[in-house]
Structure 1
């Protein structure tokens, strides 16, 4: 009889204990979440402060680098490269298709040459004399809309640079210095010619 009475009385107590335990766990879990959130916020703040300090330390170096930039014109290009102002140019001995030429320039950490100024054209024209030499200019869509491989900008035809009435073929989509006239001509891209690459002075 006593055993039965004890069992009846213990059930409400057990329920109360379970509720108390659940509440304690909930509070503990919430507290841990708060602590973790606070630690994360503090870590982010410390990281942000460290970044600001590093940026402040780098600022004088950036200013020095900017001041030294004009002096690059006095640096030489490495052997096999030819210097014009702040750019080094390379003309290959090997023959390659236009696509192979682009890849070869990339493999050297260079760009397939882009010509923007007449001074550049004359400089490369002298280097190309007597040779067919690819430049980084192509009509990708066969619509006589030539773009530079270096940056995908559209080339505006300059009459002094192209042979008369060139480019004139939707089949011949790649541009090169033509050895007999030393001006640009359009040609099928699978032909194999020498090629020009370029790098900023100080990297070649």
Structure 2
């Protein structure tokens, strides 16, 4: 009879151990799934901001070649959606250079469009005063002008400039 009690007691302990272990595994799965949504990473030389990563190119290329280079890294030329994003980006830039954005007017008719098809919003524009000003300049850049600061400028797509690539963060 003592043996039966020990066997039953042992069975209960095992059952509790299995229940606790199962609960621990479920908790771990829940925590990992929550952490995955929070821990976004960027490749080594990229700068994180919000849900995106940014790469400032040190090479000067034409607009189309700049976009190809971004695509080769799993990104695209930068799409600026907010003033805080613009402020973050310009803090990373060198005032002596101009940088291509993912914004163009392919037909030269004032119909500006973002490379990723994000709607071009009139309220999220950072053009320098009196820009864009020439329909043959079908690509946009961000540039620092003395007395005006940072702003967008329409430029020739076949001019060589540095560029800014953007990709979504990689979530672990």
TM class, shorter-length: 0.7 to 0.9
Q: Structure 1 unaligned runs (5+)?
A: 1-62
TM-score, length-scaled by structure 1: 0.61
The equivalent of 1:60 in structure 2 is: none
Aligned to 2:155: 187
Partner residue, 1:126: 91
Structure having the higher strand fraction is 2
Alpha carbon RMSD of aligned pairs, Å? 2.3
What's 2:58 paired with?
Answer: 93
Alpha-carbon distance between aligned partners in 2 of 1:193 and 1:149, rounded to the nearest angstrom:
17
Alignment pair present for 1:143 and 2:109? yes
Counterpart Cα distance in 2 of 1:158 and 1:111: 22
1:177 Cα deviation from its structure 2 partner: 0.8
Residue aligned with 1:162, SS: coil
Offset of residue 159 of structure 1: 7.4
Where structure 2 has 5 or more consecutive residues not aligned to the other structure, the ranges are 1-29
The 3-state SS of whatever aligns with 2:91 is helix
Query: Which of the two has greater helix per residue?
Result: 1
Q: Residues 65, 139 of structure 1: CA spacing in aligned structure 2 closer, same or farther, 3 A cutoff?
A: farther
1:109 to 46, 49, 74: 74
Per the alignment, in what secondary structure is the counterpart of residue 125 of structure 1?
A: helix
The residue matched to 1:128 in structure 2 has which SS?
coil
Higher CA-based Rg: 1
Distance of 1:66 and 1:146 partners within structure 2: 39
Secondary structure, in 3 states, of the residue corresponding to 2:170?
coil
**Greater RCO (CA < 8 Å, at least 6 residues apart):** 2
Per the TM alignment, residue 160 of structure 1 is displaced from its structure 2 partner at its CA by: 6.1
Q: How many residues align?
A: 139
Deviation at 1:65, TM superposition (A): 7.5
TM-score (norm 2): 0.72
Write the distance in 2 (CA, Å) between the matches of 1:170 and 1:154: 20
2:166 match = 198
